[in-house]
Amino acid sequence: MNDKELDQLLDKWDAPETAPSLRRRLRAAFPADARRRLWGVPVRWIVAFAVSAGVAAVGTGLVGDGKLNSFWGSAELPGSTVYVQMTQMVDPPLAELKWGWKGNVSSVGSSAGAARGMNALHDRSAKLFYGFEYQAEPVAGGSYRVTISPLQTADIQSGVFVVTAGNAPLPQIPSPRVVADGQAFDVDLYRSGSERVFSRLQFSARPFHGAPQPPRQQQPYTLTMEDPKLYENGQQVASDDGGSSSGATLWFRLAGSGRYLIALDPAQNPAFVKAGTVNGNSLEFQIGGDQYRIDCSKPMATGASRDIYVYHDREFESQVKPEMRNAIFGSAGPACVFNGTCLPHQ
């Protein structure tokens, strides 16, 4: 073998390109004391996040009708699909102001011929989960046998977030019951005096996405994200086919960069800065020298082109397990809650 032949052989060994996430990791690791910090706003609160074994979405908003949030997902079973809708609610609706700040942890998956998952409220300050596990097994006549069991927090620990919280026992574990397609099955999460927080579970062979949405869809400050595709500096970096989020704030997390929260109304929160516009099925903004665009399958806001306000929450990474390299999409309540001085416009 001569030198030329050796060189040709050596050239067969390519090295991979550097992943874009490395640049993001480096940015995130740029020393905080060296970085010019615009806002020293601590994040005290996450209103919603989803841990999904199937297609899932979380929608959240302060809507004044007792609804805290909704989760939609689906589980593939042999020969059929089970669509799941779980809505956490509070009664009386006024108590929404107290419970609306809690996080939502939900999941859906399948095993042994049944849809299985969990649904919980996460009280970060009290480090408590109020939740349960469920199983929905298709039975004759298009119905489902629903079984509820206590929440195993280990399932949450295995998700994407760093979670340290205990488990608040349910007021009562309901007995297994057969429900018709789409029929509501309520599970109490918390009960004290006249105050009741509960989850409304519904199972169906058809998707719930086509069902009428809560009134918040018409609210002028609501943003909606359906089947989002995320672009960073013109390159697609993430997508969530089938994903659907809705709320006063939308957000996405990129590994190493933290979370970008997007709102139509900054709600007097100075951490949110005007950074771009939303128009039809797309929104676009520029922050920290990078340009981001989200394309969706449906309009993201009502009306024509509107300004959007963005808060780059770098500290969010500390809440996500380091090994989670994937992007995460989600939604949250009004922008004001991110510095703890909420003055909702509703």
Binding site for other proteins (CB under 8 A): 1, 3, 5-7, 9-10, 12-19, 22-23, 25-27, 29-31, 33-36, 288-289
Q: How far is the CB of 285 from other proteins (least distance, A)?
A: 18
Inter-residue long-range contacts of 273-278, CB under 8 Å, 24+ positions, other chains counted: 273/38, 273/309, 273/310, 273/311, 274/307, 274/308, 274/309, 275/308, 275/309, 275/310, 276/307, 276/308, 276/310, 277/305, 277/306, 277/307, 277/308, 278/223, 278/305, 278/306, 278/308
Whether residue 220 has a cis bond before it, omega within 30° of 0: no
Closer residue to other proteins, CB minimum distance, 95 or 324: 324
Which residue type sits at 220? P
Q: How far is the CB of 33 from other proteins (least distance, A)?
A: 8
Q: Say how many CA atoms lie within 13 Å of 13 toward its Cβ.
A: 4
Which residue type sits at 200? R
Closer residue to other proteins, CB minimum distance, 1 or 304: 1
Q: How far is the CB of 290 from other proteins (least distance, A)?
A: 10
**The two structure tokens encoding residue 119:** 């649904």
Closer residue to other proteins, CB minimum distance, 15 or 154: 15
Closer residue to other proteins, CB minimum distance, 15 or 304: 15
Q: How far is the CB of 252 from other proteins (least distance, A)?
A: 20
Q: How far is the CB of 307 from other proteins (least distance, A)?
A: 25
Residues in Cβ contact with 209 at an 8 Å cutoff, skipping those fewer than 6 apart: 72, 244
Closer residue to other proteins, CB minimum distance, 5 or 154: 5
